[in-house]
Amino acid sequence: MPTTFIVLLGPPGVGKGTQASILAERTGLAHVSSGDLFRENIKKNTELGKLVKKILSDGELVPDDLTIAMIRNRLTRPDCEAGAILDGFPRTPAQADALQAMLAEFNGDVEHVPFINAPEDILVTRLSGRRTCRANGHVYHTTYNPPKRAGICDIDNSDLYQREDDQVDTVKRRIQVYMDQTAPLIEYYRRINNLQEIDGAQTIEAVTASLGKSLEN
Ligand code: ADP
Ligand code: AMP
């Protein structure tokens, strides 16, 4: 059976994870976030976690071979049989090439590439106010998407923390890394797929609506 893969492109903090969760709930597709997978490995102190801990806290990219192997492993799990929403992967042209090869093997294809974008000052404000649930990575914002009780996840009552890489200096570095290493994917997908540009500066609900429309095409 052919499978549907959606690649969410966009800079850090634009709202990829927020939209991927909403979309996953609506479509039943798996939400595959490379950042979440790395953070889980760090939390469990696995060999991969030990290798990547400092890379994440510095805001640099994990080497392609480690990232590709982790995603390949994730995409072979049964919940990806119908496809997946990819959030944060690919982040380099080499990763995008590896994804094409993997999907050819799984009889899947990248069907949609929504590119969500917003100006840098918005990204910085969103990242500095982001709070993340310690238990399962649910995402909130102190102003734009606050939990019902300050500091506590609505879904599993876990405490909310500020990611080390959401401190302002690391945020600036991550945006630079995105510009240098990930932005070339905009042209990459414009050439081979139907890249759909989405205004990420809107409210969460408005971005969800724009995304929904772009996926109908
Ligand atoms: P990404 O996965 O692209 O890094 P997130 O989905 O984690 O981004 O969102 C970054 C922060 O911005 C979070 O705190 C989230 O609650 C908030 N956020 C996401 N989308 C919007 C939006 N459209 N308007 C305001 N805040 C948003
Ligand atoms: P994110 O949760 O998407 O903000 O990612 C957090 C961090 O995980 C990034 O700053 C990188 O250090 C690492 N990371 C996530 N996805 C990738 C990827 N596709 N390639 C390399 N590093 C990644």
- State the pLDDT at residue 3: 78
Is the predicted pLDDT of residue 207 greater than 90, yes or no? Answer: yes
| Overall average pLDDT of the 85-94 stretch | 98
- State the pLDDT at residue 111: 92
Of the residues 39, 74, 91, 126, only one is catalytic, namely 91
Chain mean pLDDT for the chain? 95
| Centre of ligand 2 from the C-alpha of residue 60, in Å | 8
Is the predicted pLDDT of residue 2 greater than 60, yes or no? Answer: no
pTM: 0.97
Q: Which atom of ligand 1 is closest in space to residue 200's alpha carbon?
A: 23
Is the predicted pLDDT of residue 19 greater than 90, yes or no? Answer: yes
State the ligand closest to the CA atom of 182.
2
Distance, in Å, from the CA atom of 203 to the CA atom of 26, rounded to the nearest integer, reads: 18
For the chain, strand residue ranges (E) read: 3-8, 30-33, 83-87, 108-117, 130-133, 139-141, 160-161, 195-199
- State the pLDDT at residue 1: 44
> Distance of CA 163 to CAs 11, 23, 26, 36, 102, Å?
17, 24, 27, 12, 31
Residue 126 is a catalytic residue: no
Structure token digits, residue 75: 């995409």
Domains of the chain with CATH codes? 3-118+181-210 (3.40.50.300)
| Overall average pLDDT of the 15-19 stretch | 98
Cβ 16 under 6 angstroms from ligand 2: no
Of the residues 39, 74, 130, 131, only one is catalytic, namely 130
Q: Which residues, other chains included, contact 27 with Cβ-Cβ below 8 Å and sequence gap of 6+? A: 85
Cβ 210 under 6 angstroms from ligand 2: no
Q: Which residues, other chains included, contact 55 with Cβ-Cβ below 8 Å and sequence gap of 6+? A: 61, 62
State the ligand closest to the CA atom of 123.
1
| Overall average pLDDT of the 111-121 stretch | 97
